Structure 1
Amino acid sequence: MSRLRFALDPKSVAIIGASENPNKVGGRPVHYLQKFGFKGKIYPINPSRTEIQGEKCYKSLADLPEAPEMVIVAVAGDNAIGAVEDCAKAGVKIALVMASGFGEVDAIAGKAKERRMVEIAHKHGMRIVGPNTQGLANFGTGAIASFSTMFMEFERVEGHVAMLSQSGALSTVPVGFLNPRGIGVRHSHATGNDSDITVGELAIAVAEDPEVKLMLLYLESIPEKKYLEELSEVALHRNLPIIALKSGRTDAGKAAAQSHTGALANEDRVVDAFLEHHGIWRAPDMRGLVEATELYLKGWKPHGRRLVAISNSGAVCVMTADAASTVGMPMAKLAPETDKKLKGILPSFATTTNPIDLTAALLSNSRLFGDILPVIAEDPAADAFIIGVPVAGPGYDVPAFARDSAAFAQQTGKPLVVAATQPSVAREFQAQGVSVFPTEVEAVTALNQYVSHHELMARVKARKRGPSSSLISADKTEMLNEADSLALLASHGLPVVPYRLAHSRAEAEAAFDAIGGKVVVKGCSADIAHKSELGLVKLGVASREAVGEVYAEMEEIIRKQGSRFDGVIIAAMTGGRREIVIGAHRDPVFGPVVMVGDGGKYVEVFKDTTLLLPPFTRDDAKRALAKLRIAPLFEGVRGEPPMDVDVLVDAMVRIGELMADTSAKVMSIDLNPVMLNTNGCVVVDAVVFKGE
């Protein structure tokens, strides 16, 4: 925490605008610092009082016996700007500005005020949190510099979860979810408008806290990627999982985020790709952010995702299998020797194949859980477990079920969750430290998130960590004509259709002879991106005379458009089993992004595409292709042979390398279609934009 130690562990805190009333913005921090055991010095500042909440009060910052390491600025409007300037000149290290009315409400004048505060602060070596921040709370040190109402509701419950947010409310809502479940939160920080210290930069410092075992993030915008990239490095080195909830998935959400924190909108699918690339799990909603928290704190080391389900209800067994199939957790196929041993324990009417239905026999034999769990644990196919107890009560030895399940999880170190709707049943398992969910769907969803996240982190760690893709911009971009685009791709190892560029009718006829067979004739101009609409694409031209005539027609069309005439392309006719699109562009925040998916003229209708961020591996590319709806076609259907996905993967990786090469100055690429066949693939149309 050295880089932002004064924000997370200050030795002295002053509160400008301190109040005697703990229910006011200026009173809450004083109350919390006392309540949660802050060991440093507390300096309330209020010119109208001599004492606040039992602490000596000072008239001004200048009256303090020392320059405090942190100052909470709890005064409104322009008064906050003056207070920040006073803090900077006094040698304060961190100013936490709670005042609102800045960039979140006025993108021009409000942002200008923020910049002025930051300039003043940096001039004197001070950093700013906020403005528009609810505050910072480190329960490990008692440094609760916050006015959140949430902290009034509980006593100190120090734990291992860190929650960081640009929103004030969302920095504490997860605390409200987790605290009743006995899960302590060590850090709860809101950075507000991120005018200086951003949520990403603060998260890096928090990630260095060895007591933090899980980090939760709420993001409304990602104005720059460098801090999240560095955060990922620190977290992966520590095996620290990060779950992020990024709002603004819809246009309405983006508009709301803009009015809330003055956030800039990010393209949502690129955010998905960026977070995945860096091993950060993206939660779909608030429940997804916190629901699996307990599992992350167990210290398990999952080695697979094959699931074993056990219940005293056949219906729950079926629904668990459905839930597992939905999220992509296969039901483990137990070995014959496991089945034989289970048959020796369970009654004949029970089901020993996975999922295992104990039936009502559990009522007469409470040892069934304890007897079968060790047997299943020995099966090498069993990676994770779910126990469903939909109904139990008098006659069932639920405490024994809970003890046996907890002992099993402890001994095997394998993930285990329980689905129990009845509160009395759930409490017995929870008392033994077993993670309980109300339904099998919630249990399987949380378990899948936990296992999948660990798999993601392992993949990212195994990937060779090259330098981050540099952000480049160009004041002006120029579209290459198709011939130059194909030549550039060919020079980088991509398979392009055989073609010739003709600058005369005679050259076009000679190109036809050289290529042989039917050809495609296309007009070539760096001023025309969409050729078909102008009649500049002719398929299946079958004679040299016809090629010559088409050449003349296309030259006339291009010149009548007032466009540059760069010649006419004569290319081999080539078909394919499937038309694929490969595209790439430079995102202003995240840098190069590569897209792949179902191509052809309906690409914008079906929208079956996925994104990758360079650098990525062949395995990353294969995994991206497997996400497509058309993925089953690659294996061959109805007796068809498989398509040559390996060559397509090569093309994807080469496009990623080209986009990562800043010297190439490629700003965007559109390859549609790329013809995918049983043997090989070929680029038949390309548009490339380069920066100047």
Structure 2
Amino acid sequence: MTDAATSARQALRAALSPRSIAVIGASDNEHKIGGRPIAYLGRHGYAGALYPINPSRPEVQGLRTYADLSALPEVPEVAIVAVPGDGAIVAADQCAQAGVKLVVMMSSGFGEVDAEGKRREREMAARARALGMRVVGPNSQGLANFGTGAVLSFSTMFTEVAPQDGPVGIISQSGAMSVIPYGLLRQRGIGVRHSHATGNDCDVTVCELATVVVEDPALRVLLLYLEGVPDPWHLAEAAAIARDRGLPIVALKSGRSAAGQEAAQSHTGALASEDRVVDAFLREHGIWRVQDMRELVDAAELYLKGWKPRGRRLVAISNSGAVCVLTADAASAAGMPLEPLSAGTQAELRTILPGFATTTNPVDITAALLTNSRLFSDILPPIARDPAADAFFVGIAVAGAGYDVPTFAADTARFAQATGKPIVVAAPQPSVAAAFKTHGLSVYATEAEAVGALGQYLSHAELIAAAQARRPALPSPPRAVRPAVMLDEAQSLAWLAGRGVPVARHMLCADEAQARRAFETLGAARVVVKGCTGDASHKSELGLVRLGLQSAEAVAAAYADVVAAASAAGVRLGGVLVAEMVRGERELMIGARLDPVFGPVVLVGDGGKYVEAMPDAEVLLPPFDAAQVERALRRLRIAPLLDGVRGDPPLDVAAFCDAAVAVGALMLDDAAGVTQLDVNPVIVRERGQGCAAVDAVIFHSR
């Protein structure tokens, strides 16, 4: 890291525990934006110097005020700007000139409003950076670190829901989404240390702030709300630090739909990246992406248990047959198999449970629990010893009066401690749930919520382990996407062949005689004749393709037809390709482009002419290896076809994966200048017989 970068990062660390703070626009009313941070700082134990700046009052909230920055006894490390309009920009400029390390700009009316506002905040940030100052915001609700008392925020939530320092951190581009999970976690009794809202991200982004928040040794899980990922290289850095610390990161990224992306742009001006690229990036770096706020919060407490999961086989226990069935459904959806307990375990359970109970898995202890409170404690030890058990679910569908619920809860807690394995409880009755929560167990209202949270936790543990083993490279800021020209098919195939991608044998012809000789030279049973042009990527629609030709005469006639069709369509030809008609078992595709945010991305999936109408593809971020490509293929809907079905032979997946790796290397090569390519179809033969690209389009910037 350069000296400038180190200094910039130090400013972010200072914001989490500043020695001194100025509040520009300080208010005596603690319910106003300029007053609430002062109240919070006093209320939550901030021990540094606090300087309210308000030239019209001698004091605010019992503190002496100052007319301006120059009147302060020292240069504050951090300043809060809570004045409107152009006054906010003036204040930020004055702070930069005075040597303030970081400004939290709460003022709004900038990039979240219009393009002019975006320009103004961008220019303000540039002036600040030139003088060594960082800017959080504008349109920021503020930063809050309850571990140090540095609550530089005006959120009402901290008044409504009492803070408690704890092991969870939250960073969000949205003010509301920095405190909604805070409120939900506090309702569960979970303490939150960090609750930060970066607003418009004109300088300091969620991703960059995460690089210093993950350094906090008290943190055990970090939750992110993202409307865009403007600097994935910072998020990758944060993820690498977090993996080394064993700190999981869970992200809620909005804007999955076109409507959601439009809303995100109007809210914070966030750049809406293609959603599947975001998925691929987060997966690559071990960050778990959730779909909604419930998923963001529900599993949070499971990350705090200190479990070391070794598998995902679930054993379910309930006093309701219906809950057993619903749990099996939920476990199947979460990819958590309910394998039958061993014959020995089942035999032991049958000596304990009534004859009408179920002892396989799920274990239904039935309503007999009402008359024999020992049933629960008696069945837990043999289940704990069973090799099919990686994790446990306990569902108490109905209990209360007549049931020894405190004993059930205590027995479950001892069971959990003895096994050291993940366990969740579902108890819809508040009194029953409270008994289990008293013993520190994770309790949910329904089996779907409990199993869903457990499934997320176990899946994320596997994702982190895979990323840790792979140790993905930290991406650099993407190179600018320069204007590019489309190469014709012959040129595109030559580029691919030069990079190790197998291509169909072909010859470029300038007249009918050459076309005849090409047919004879190739010696293929059938050939294809195609117009070779850099003017059109979809040639079939223009009548520039003839298939299945079996004689030199047919090839010559096709040559003439293609030339005539090109003339009629106004398409310039660089020649006509005669290529072998490759036979194989499946058409797949490889695509790639330079994403303006994430850099090179590669797409692999089902190919052919319906690739756009029925997309079935996965995104990979180079560099990647063949094993990663195969894992991506195994996530496709067509994955069962790879190994052959109904008598079809298995495909040469290895050959296709090697071709995709070669494309990934090409996209990483800045000197090559490739900005986009489509290789569709790639004909994949049966295992051991290879593959061949039969059509390709490359866009090149040089």
CA distance in 1, matches of 2:132, 2:614: 53
Deviation at 1:632, TM superposition (A): 2.0
User: Of the candidates 166, 171, 190, which is equivalent to residue 164 of structure 1?
Assistant: 171
Deviation at 1:321, TM superposition (A): 0.5
CA distance in 2, matches of 1:617, 1:283: 26
Q: For each residue in 1:47-95, what CA deviation from the matched residue of structure 2 results, as whole angstroms up to 9, or x when unmatched?
A: 2222222222223222221111111111111111121122222222221
- Look up the match of 1:363: 370
Deviation at 1:238, TM superposition (A): 1.2
1:149 matched to 2:159? The reply is no
- Look up the match of 1:472: 479
CA distance in 2, matches of 1:368, 1:622: 48
Please say which of residues 467-476 and 208-217 is displaced more in the overlay: 467-476
1:529 matched to 2:511? The reply is no
CA contact (8 A) 2:231 2:477 kept: no
Q: For each residue in 1:165-218, what CA deviation from the matched residue of structure 2 results, as whole angstroms up to 9, or x when unmatched?
A: 111111111111010111011000111111111111111110111111111111
- Look up the match of 1:684: 694
AA matched with 1:583: G
Please say which of residues 279-288 and 247-256 is displaced more in the overlay: 247-256
- Look up the match of 1:658: 666
- Look up the match of 1:587: 595
Q: What secondary structure, in the 3-state scheme, does the structure 1 residue paired with 2:604 have? A: strand
CA contact (8 A) 1:50 1:57 kept: yes
- Look up the match of 2:111: 103
CA distance in 2, matches of 1:332, 1:53: 64
CA distance in 2, matches of 1:512, 1:91: 76
Deviation at 1:378, TM superposition (A): 2.1
Q: What secondary structure, in the 3-state scheme, does the structure 1 residue paired with 2:383 have? A: helix
- Look up the match of 1:91: 99
CA distance in 2, matches of 1:467, 1:81: 34
CA distance in 2, matches of 1:297, 1:683: 49
AA matched with 1:532: S
Q: What secondary structure, in the 3-state scheme, does the structure 2 residue paired with 1:288 have? A: helix
User: Of the candidates 459, 470, 480, which is equivalent to residue 463 of structure 1?
Assistant: 470
Cα gap change, 1:469 to 1:89, in 2 (>3 Å): closer
CA distance in 1, matches of 2:580, 2:37: 74
Q: For each residue in 1:8-41, what CA deviation from the matched residue of structure 2 results, as whole angstroms up to 9, or x when unmatched?
A: 1001112111111111111101110011011111
CA contact (8 A) 1:3 1:205 kept: no
Cα gap change, 1:48 to 1:435, in 2 (>3 Å): same
Q: What secondary structure, in the 3-state scheme, does the structure 1 residue paired with 2:115 have? A: coil
Q: What secondary structure, in the 3-state scheme, does the structure 2 residue paired with 1:465 have? A: coil
Q: For each residue in 1:548-580, what CA deviation from the matched residue of structure 2 results, as whole angstroms up to 9, or x when unmatched?
A: 222233334435655443222222222333222
1:420 matched to 2:427? The reply is yes
Please say which of residues 43-52 and 28-37 is displaced more in the overlay: 43-52
CA distance in 1, matches of 2:11, 2:126: 19
CA contact (8 A) 2:587 2:684 kept: yes
CA contact (8 A) 1:164 1:203 kept: yes
CA distance in 2, matches of 1:289, 1:461: 22
Query: Aligned residues: percent identity?
Result: 59
Deviation at 1:402, TM superposition (A): 1.2
Matches within 5 A, 1:453-602: 453-466=460-473, 468=475, 471-516=478-523, 517-558=525-566, 561=569, 563-602=571-610
Q: Which ranges in structure 1 are unaligned for 5 or more consecutive residues?
A: none
Please, what TM-score do these two structures have when normalized by structure 1? 0.96
Please say which of residues 181-190 and 589-598 is displaced more in the overlay: 589-598
Q: What secondary structure, in the 3-state scheme, does the structure 2 residue paired with 1:387 have? A: strand
CA distance in 2, matches of 1:398, 1:636: 53
AA matched with 1:98: M
Q: For each residue in 1:271-300, what CA deviation from the matched residue of structure 2 results, as whole angstroms up to 9, or x when unmatched?
A: 111111111111111111111111011111
Cα gap change, 1:48 to 1:140, in 2 (>3 Å): same
Matches within 5 A, 1:49-448: 49-108=57-116, 110-448=117-455
- Look up the match of 2:5: none
User: Of the candidates 642, 649, 652, which is equivalent to residue 657 of structure 2?
Assistant: 649
User: Of the candidates 21, 27, 36, which is equivalent to residue 28 of structure 1?
Assistant: 36
- Look up the match of 1:43: 51
Deviation at 1:136, TM superposition (A): 0.6
CA distance in 2, matches of 1:271, 1:646: 26
Q: What secondary structure, in the 3-state scheme, does the structure 2 residue paired with 1:669 have? A: strand
CA contact (8 A) 2:285 2:472 kept: no
CA distance in 1, matches of 2:378, 2:32: 58
- Look up the match of 2:644: 636
- Look up the match of 1:617: 625
CA distance in 2, matches of 1:370, 1:677: 58
Cα gap change, 1:474 to 1:425, in 2 (>3 Å): closer
AA matched with 1:479: M
CA contact (8 A) 1:137 1:189 kept: yes
Q: What secondary structure, in the 3-state scheme, does the structure 2 residue paired with 1:604 have? A: coil
Please, what TM-score do these two structures have when normalized by structure 2? 0.95
AA matched with 1:260: H
CA distance in 2, matches of 1:249, 1:50: 51
Q: What secondary structure, in the 3-state scheme, does the structure 2 residue paired with 1:603 have? A: coil
Q: What secondary structure, in the 3-state scheme, does the structure 2 residue paired with 1:44 have? A: strand
Q: What secondary structure, in the 3-state scheme, does the structure 2 residue paired with 1:605 have? A: coil
CA contact (8 A) 1:469 1:592 kept: no
Please say which of residues 190-199 and 598-607 is displaced more in the overlay: 598-607
CA distance in 2, matches of 1:21, 1:565: 75
CA distance in 2, matches of 1:626, 1:40: 55
Cα gap change, 1:149 to 1:238, in 2 (>3 Å): same
User: Of the candidates 613, 616, 621, which is equivalent to residue 608 of structure 1?
Assistant: 616
- Look up the match of 1:4: 12
CA distance in 2, matches of 1:144, 1:474: 41
Q: Which ranges in structure 2 are unaligned for 5 or more consecutive residues?
A: 1-8
AA matched with 1:544: A
Deviation at 1:331, TM superposition (A): 1.2
CA distance in 1, matches of 2:51, 2:607: 65
CA contact (8 A) 1:520 1:541 kept: yes
Alignment RMSD (CA, Å): 1.8
User: Of the candidates 663, 675, 685, which is equivalent to residue 667 of structure 1?
Assistant: 675
CA distance in 2, matches of 1:472, 1:13: 38
AA matched with 1:343: R
Please say which of residues 118-127 and 214-223 is displaced more in the overlay: 118-127
CA contact (8 A) 2:11 2:101 kept: no
Query: How many pairs were matched up?
Result: 691
Cα gap change, 1:658 to 1:599, in 2 (>3 Å): same
CA contact (8 A) 1:317 1:355 kept: yes
Deviation at 1:528, TM superposition (A): 2.8
Deviation at 1:159, TM superposition (A): 0.3
Q: What secondary structure, in the 3-state scheme, does the structure 1 residue paired with 2:351 have? A: helix
CA distance in 2, matches of 1:374, 1:666: 62
CA contact (8 A) 1:203 1:231 kept: yes
CA distance in 2, matches of 1:257, 1:156: 29
CA distance in 2, matches of 1:587, 1:422: 50
